[in-house]
Structure 1
Amino acid sequence: MNTDAVVLRRAGAADALPAADVWLRSCDTALPSVRRAHDDTEVRDWFSRVLVPQYETWVAVTKNSVVGVLVLNGGELKQLYLDPAWRGRGLGHRFMALAKQRQPDGLTLWTFQVNQAAQRFYERHGFIEAERTDGHRNDEREPDIRYVWQPQK
């Protein structure tokens, strides 16, 4: 399916569980070596109680399913995950354009050091590495990288 047939819209309560399932499938596929700190039920609860109602959460929707999720918290890009079948089809680029439009003064984000595909993606979109840690501040205890994007002046 063409990404033009995918609509990006703000998530509502009914989108929380499908968005959580996208997150789970994406993590399982893209990050098989990363220990998940929370089980599936806890992740679904987090989407339902925290991410969708308390953050600026967007979903990518086809005719009948959620295929991507973007979560912003002010200038922090908290989550950007695509259903594995939708990777490499331009949907991530659409989400990134939306995030930059929503936060034109700049964005920051974290990604795991093992996630080289994400690093390449963010660097293609103008993000610069600002910090590496040993993972002591994230739930997974996985070494990570903080990236920053500042618009051209």
Structure 2
Amino acid sequence: MDEALTEPEIVILGADHMQAAAGIRRVALWQRLPWLADLHTPEEEEQYWRMHLLPNCTILGAAIGIRLVGVIAYGDDWIEQLYVLPDFQGMGIGSLLLDSAKDEMDEIRLWTFQRNIGARAFYERHGFTAEEETDGLDNEEKEPDVLYHWRRLPEPALGLQPSGA
């Protein structure tokens, strides 16, 4: 079956998926942002997903067939991780994952690097606004970053006619 023709399925990820989730992050991040320092081994990254993200976040994956091609970790009004394998970007997979988080939260914040122009454009297309830029001294990569924020708009009130009108 041609992966490009198959609709991705959004699935809840568990402990058995953390190595694959960490691997997606690693491939997507380093292919798109090769200038970033590689600070952690694949094993350390998997441990972070397993020991920090899994107990504290909802983690969803986008699967095409049996292949995991995208991942999101979110909770408490934050997106902690959102990555799609480079060969599968531009196919709506990131939007599906983001929409899953937006369905569950009324407000979301997230950080991305200032130089990650693709991610910034993606979030802005999805209604996020830049709220703060930093010099990067507070993140482990020491890379200038930007805080994005999204808030659900209130539902419009129904225009009910008074009775007898």
Indicate the TM-score class for this superposition, using the shorter chain for normalisation. over 0.9
Larger CA Rg, structure 1 vs 2: 2
- Hey, what does 1:10 align to over in structure 2? 12
- Hey, what does 2:89 align to over in structure 1? 87
For residue 58 of structure 1, give the secondary structure of its aligned residue in structure 2. Answer: strand
Matched-pair contact (CA < 8 Å) for 2:6–2:64: no
For residue 80 of structure 2, give the secondary structure of its aligned residue in structure 1. Answer: strand
Unpaired runs of 5+ residues, structure 2, are 155-165
Matched, 1:70 2:72: yes
What per-residue deviation string (whole Å, max 9, x for no partner) do you get for residues 36-56 of structure 1? 332222112211222223321
- CA shift, 1:2, in A, is 4.4
Matched, 1:19 2:27: no
What per-residue deviation string (whole Å, max 9, x for no partner) do you get for residues 4-40 of structure 1? 5321111111111011111111011111111133222
Matched-pair contact (CA < 8 Å) for 1:130–1:145: yes
Matched-pair contact (CA < 8 Å) for 1:10–1:57: yes
Tell me how large the CA RMSD over aligned residues is. Answer: 1.4
Unpaired runs of 5+ residues, structure 1, are none
For residue 40 of structure 2, give the secondary structure of its aligned residue in structure 1. Answer: coil
Which aligned segments of 4 or more residues in structure 1 are displaced greater than 4 angstroms? none
CA–CA separation in structure 2 for the residues paired with 1:71 and 1:95: 9
Matched-pair contact (CA < 8 Å) for 1:18–1:65: no
Q: What percent of counterpart residues are identical?
A: 32
CA–CA separation in structure 2 for the residues paired with 1:116 and 1:136: 20
- Hey, what does 1:43 align to over in structure 2? 45
TM-score using structure 2 length: 0.87
- Number of residue pairs matched by the alignment: 152
- Hey, what does 1:113 align to over in structure 2? 114
